[in-house]
């Protein structure tokens, strides 16, 4: 049977109704994509940039409110220097090439993570695109750079501990909502759907707090081959899930 066209999948998503408000993606498989073609790994990452464009446009079409992409983990700093440097250059290039287009599409770009670790040029580019797109509200694009979820949780715990030590907060006043306010994702709904590409079945230190009740979809497709059709397929699968949040059906 021929694969359905994106427009058919989009109509089906609209018929089904409930669209995930927040979709998070672990973009994986760039290295394997390059290896399959006997290309250097950075070319896999470069090819992955067009998939980023595809999912941003797809998310806007569907009406997703927040799209979170895991672009560079804290662990990724330990990759060979040439690969780290290629990824940093790609980040800068992505911002330079896409900032105006994202802005005109109404996308608010927010970079989350330990941004102080970025080289000066990338840091400046990140600040620039966040400022340029700050007023937009069609789609919030969270790009996680130099991010690790355990470090994020430790950082939140330290902030709260300091407030307790300063006498501004009582330990019993700390609850889920207050804790969530100290995370990078403050103000965002938790992800409804997490997609991981390349068939790996791991969370890899991404959004550990926020994924508590998220539906997980594993795609066997390598990230550079992931397109709008794949995104729509994942959303259709999500729409057929029975989300219970630990309760029994009504």
Q: Is the dihedral of CA 105, 63, 73, 221 positive or negative?
A: negative
Q: What are the C-alpha distances in Å from 149 to residues 76, 91, 210? A: 14, 21, 9
User: What is the spatial distance between Cα 236 and Cα 81, in angstroms, rounded to a whole number?
Assistant: 40
x/- map, 204-243, ligand FPP, by CB under 6 A: -------------------x--------------------
The number of residues that bind ligand FPP (CB under 6 A) is 17
State yes or no: residue 49 binds ligand FPP (CB under 6 A).
Answer: yes
Q: Which of 20, 44 has the CB closer to ligand FPP?
A: 44
71-91: burial string, b at 16+ Cβ within 10 Å, e else: bbbbebeebeeeeeebbbbbb
Residues marked as catalytic? 28, 76
State yes or no: residue 144 binds ligand FPP (CB under 6 A).
Answer: no
Least spacing, CB of residue 32 vs ligand FPP, in Å: 3
Q: Which of 127, 163 has the CB closer to ligand FPP?
A: 127
Q: Which of 45, 140 has the CB closer to ligand FPP?
A: 45
User: What is the spatial distance between Cα 236 and Cα 73, in angstroms, rounded to a whole number?
Assistant: 28
State yes or no: residue 58 binds ligand FPP (CB under 6 A).
Answer: no
Least spacing, CB of residue 184 vs ligand FPP, in Å: 16
State the residue for tokens 């994020």: 152
Helical ranges in 17-69 per DSSP H: 30-36, 41-62
State yes or no: residue 45 binds ligand FPP (CB under 6 A).
Answer: yes
With CA atoms as reference, report the closest residue to 189 among 214, 206, 154: 214
Binding site for ligand FPP (CB under 6 A): 27-32, 45, 48-49, 52, 71, 76, 90-91, 94, 143, 223
């Amino acid at each position: 049977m021929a694969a359905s066209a994106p427009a058919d999948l989009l109509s089906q998503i609209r018929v089904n109704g409930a669209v995930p408000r927040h979709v998070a993606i672990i973009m994986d498989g760039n290295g394997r994509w390059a290896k399959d073609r006997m290309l250097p790994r950075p070319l896999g990452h470069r090819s992955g940039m067009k998939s980023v464009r595809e999912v941003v446009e797809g998310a806007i079409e569907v009406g997703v409110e927040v799209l979170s992409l895991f672009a560079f983990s804290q662990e990724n700093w330990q990759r060979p220097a040439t690969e780290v440097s290629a990824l940093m250059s790609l980040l800068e290039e992505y911002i330079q090439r896409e900032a105006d287009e994202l802005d005109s599409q109404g996308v608010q770009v927010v970079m989350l993570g330990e941004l102080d670790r970025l080289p000066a040029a990338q840091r400046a580019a990140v600040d620039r695109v966040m400022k340029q797109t700050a007023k937009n509200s069609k789609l919030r694009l969270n790009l996680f750079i130099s991010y690790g979820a355990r470090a994020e949780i430790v950082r939140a715990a330290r902030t709260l501990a300091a407030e307790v030590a300063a006498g501004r907060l009582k330990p019993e006043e700390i609850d889920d909502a207050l804790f969530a306010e100290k995370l990078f994702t403050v103000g965002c709904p938790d992800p409804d759907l997490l997609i991981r590409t390349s068939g790996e079945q791991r969370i890899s230190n991404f959004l550990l707090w926020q994924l508590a009740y998220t539906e997980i979809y594993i795609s066997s497709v390598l990230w550079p081959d992931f397109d709008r059709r794949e995104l729509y397929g994942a959303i259709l699968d999500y729409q057929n899930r029975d989300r219970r949040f630990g309760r029994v059906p009504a």
